[in-house]
Amino acid sequence: MGSMVVRLVAAVGLAALCFLGCAISSCDGQPDYRAALANSLLYFEGQRSGKLPPDQRVQWRGDSALADGQDHGVDLTGGYYDSGDNVKFGLPMAFTVTMLAWGAVEYARPLALAGELRHALAAVRWGADYLARAHAADETLYVQVGEGDSDHSCWQRPEDMDTLRTAYSVDASRPGSDVAAETAAALAAAAVAFRRLDRAYSAMLLRHAEQLFRFAENHRGLYHNSVPDARKFYPSSGDEDELIWAAVWLFIATGGAEYKAFILGDGNAGGVQSALSWDNKFLGAQALVAKLILDGKLPDSGNPAAMKQSLEQFLCDVAQHGGSADAKLSPGGMLWTQPWNNLQFVTSAAFVAAVHADHLAAARASLQCAGGGAATLPPAQLLAFARSQADYILGANPGGMSYMVGYGARYPARVHHRGASVPSIKYSPGKITCKGGFEYFSRSSPNPNVLVGAIVGGPDGNDRYNDSRGNFQQTEPSTVTVAPIVGVLARLLHN
């Protein structure tokens, strides 16, 4: 235990430990959602790019990528590194911001009661500021900084990186309606999160969001065809999900008739989905539309009704009331989707289940499932599913391991993450070269820096986990995985 305390002090600084509550253990044997929530928000400070602010709590990080955008004469500093590398990919970053903002909108009160609302909004703002700067003109959006192949050929902390920081954009002649619409959704959601606290900032974000939605509508095309470097890392399967997702967020933000008309007339409800992810937002749009129907702001007919029905089928499936369509669970009860970073789908499904449970409860309604022998699924049962997935991540699993770094008595120590696995520039200021960093990658010892709050890819479908830095499918964390659980943990704090 003593060595773990030393590692946490080195990771975040002694002053920051007061925010971690019972992060070292689960206190009374039950999950400490407050500590896990604090950790999850601390994680985003560890992923920051750019000039770090004076109140930065993750002290082993330093300033990085301060010249981003200079090759095009724009300021592209800031934002987040997506996973364990040093590239800034616009599509997953925008999804991260959307999910963080959605959590702050839904659960502002429990976040405030936990003393974490300011940290949640700071996480949203760090990403939203970057996305607004990346929208350099009405029909120009920068969607990536850095080259994936050159970055992945190095193992360097971001403070040292000397790989190419090429900036890539989409515009009217090289469209990217998927990423433009996702960025519109992110900025609209962030505008909703800030509209009562900072009206001028909220209005600025909303202006960008509306311009980006028009750009996406008027110039259709998948962004990875315009930015081929993105295809290898975050290819897009389509843009219809992002367009409806953005339209819903803009309708929530503005009440605009044009956005309502888009929702009513789009004609693509998405069907029954298997996941909400950085590439597929239909499920998120369906959950928001279902709330708008329950609130009487959209009709329970046509496209909105089809979206609501698809959401309900997904939730019946994951809660094991969908009959033959029940989603697969591991023997230990983890929702299982795919071998690579499966926990990203777990956290997003838990979030959707939690928010829809609350929406149903507010409307004094229950979910009607067609199969599985249980026609009625009450909100409490949906929330129980969300809780089961969060508890699994926090250690209630066959391996007895927390898959959130820095939480619990046992958690991943060899996270696939350049900055965490290389000595901090604060304590080892000598430059670590592109290839020299692989010395640290190949070591079997734990990472010298604890990336508190990171959620790794997670175990396989049989609940087995191999804590090896080279096992990136299981040990690499990502912002898209952590963003949804912020809202889940805030919700679980207050029943």
Report the sign of the C-alpha dihedral through residues 150, 154, 155, 160, in that order. negative
Task: Report helix, strand or coil for 117.
Answer: helix
DSSP bridge partners of 144: 89, 168
132 contacts 318 by C-beta, under 8 angstroms: no
Nearest to residue 371, comparing CAs of 330, 314, 333? 314
Token reading at 204? 């600025």
Find, among 149, 234, 218, the residue nearest to 184 by Cα.
Answer: 218
Distance CA 367, CA 290 (A): 11
Cα within 13 Å of Cα(308), Cβ side: 22
φ and ψ at residue 113, rounded to 5 degrees: -65, -30
The C-alpha atoms of residue 427 and residue 412 are separated, in whole angstroms, by 23
- The DSSP output letter for 277 is -
* Catalytic hit among 224, 416, 417, 494: 416
416 tagged catalytic = yes
Closest by Cα among 2, 6, 11, 10 to 454:
11
- What span, in angstroms and rounded, lies between the C-alpha atoms of 8 and 407? 10
- Are the C-beta atoms of residues 343 and 457 closer than 8 Å to each other? yes
Residue 179: closest CA among 252, 95, 263: 95
Per the CB < 8 A criterion, the answer to whether 38 and 135 are in contact is: no
Task: Fill in the DSSP letter of residue 455.
Answer: B
User: What's the gap between Cα 277 and its chain centre?
Assistant: 9
The token pair at 427 is 């304590």
Rg of the chain, C-alpha, whole Å: 21
Distance of CA 42 to the CA centre of its chain: 14
DSSP 311: H
Residues carrying an active site annotation: 416
